[in-house]
A and B are shown apart, each in its own frame.
Chain A
Amino acid sequence: MVAENQPAAPGAAALKLDGVGKRYPGADCDALRGIDLEIRDRELVAVVGQSGCGKTTMLRIIAGLEVPDTGTVSIGGKVMAGPGTWVPPEHRGVGMVFQDFALFPHLKVEQNIAYGLKHLPRAARKERTGRMLELVDLEGLAGRYPHQLSGGQQQRVALARALAPEPSVLLLDEPFSNLDAPLKASLRDGLTKVIRRTGVPTLLVVHDVEDVVVLANRVAVLREGRIVQQGSPIGLCQNPGDPYTARFFERLRTPDANRFPIEAIEEETTKGAG
């Protein structure tokens, strides 16, 4: 059962990671070491870092697909994973968009979206599904099967499906990595619009600096299992704390950077915070 519309404890962060750590015995990826991260309502936080499994691991720990070795994960003030506590993924009320979308190939689009709505009566389910389809601009494709959709459409279905149960937190794992470059820009805008509309606190793993700048209120840089720097994209761009961050934001310093609406983001940030 999804923790739908459960009121968060007043003043609590939508999502809080406290000293979360994970070791993989004999793996070639970095373990997570003492991750501290907070996401508040209406915030969109991007996590960037070298390729490896740390970022995805973090998302999976939040979703409940992995068990952290140390630390606590709280959603809406309630502890989901920690010493002596474990809530399985079914009951966390987290929405997740997987890297490969993981759509159910044998179900139609509307069935995919309605999958997490079992607890609702039929009429309400239909209504919500319809609203979601509208939100992601896929009305009319409700009866199609995933293999009949383009990559971009599939991504939107995955998003609608994750948002339909009104989750407390939304997680996106490299949502653009399976798409062609020309598609990305329009999809990115679409994604931004949807997330801002619903206002769901979002954690987003990306590896492209443009994605960070367009989408995120805040950025966390993950390196060797730790968050080495957090802050607004502008802030990090101007004051990178280490060579990796500097290189990551390098492109923004080039003449091409003028293409990006940095001012617009700054405005949004001041507006949206709090």
Chain B
Amino acid sequence: MHKARTILAAAGLAALAACGASDDGDVVNVYSHRHYEADQILFDRFTELTGIQVNVVTASADELITRLENEGEASPADMLITVDAGRLHRAKARGLLQPVTSATLEANVPDHLRDRDGEWWGLTQRARVLAYHRERVDSTQLSTYEALAEPAWDDRVLIRSSENVYNQSLLASIIANDGEEAATEWAEGIVENMARQPSGGDTDQVTAVAAGAGDVAVVNTYYIARLVESTDPEERRVASQIGVFFPNQDGRGAHVNVSGAGVTRHARNVENAVALLEFLTGEEAQGIFAEANQEYPVHPNVPWSATLLSWGEFRADTLDLTVLGELNDAAVRIADRAGWR
């Protein structure tokens, strides 16, 4: 009995000894919110090309940021990757990133998709669009995000929880454009028009529209595109019922967000991190982001995937992405007060 327990205890300790990042050999340690399979393919390719080992830790951006703050100088992270510009801004504001100068990066990433001080760089773009049911909605009925809050759409709108960063950033962009009061009214209108209480992710909203729970959903482009390109006939069936509409084309344009990365302030492998950044924004990686993940690349020369091309060009909101981060707190409060779960 004693022996058994000692062995168990020793095993436990041994198991715990293995965890986390390391920094022996040529490595770069990445804290990433993205957990798509395509990313791992890219990291492996990077290692193939450069011999630098990529250690990835995935968790939500909020966790990662809190973690970086707590770790301080002792942090092993070299790079932070998030899926939302707002969170990138938050990381910068808390002094967790460092500026990077690189001609390659500047060529790869257009001005409006990166931090003006070079502390973060966009990797991919995603638009937040309206997915509507082809049979029940005529696309002429759709126009702007703001219009969705009107009574005509009562009980027909599907959107995920306000706790999700994509919605927070969308709301932040509306605050920036229309002011807090109008944004509050908009949020309240959306809540009124919800066909059901928010549950599930963006894909759930799309399938719900297809199944008739609502008529229009607010979702990111790559979720729809993935359904279209899915190997599962059931998922393709869902996608076939859906039309894609880019809102606010007569105005400021559709809300666009970036997934991006920055080098951490206390990184120990700065050169490796910059190299990884350059790779990820380079044409090869961008092409994979586009094809495998159905995201819009940032690199101006890299073509879109077939599905995205089929949806056509669109006007994108050129709002400074930093603003999304600055207005995040206000957005959360407005959403809470409006009862947007």
The answer to A–B direct touch (Cβ < 8 A) is: no
A residues in contact (CB < 8 Å) with B: none
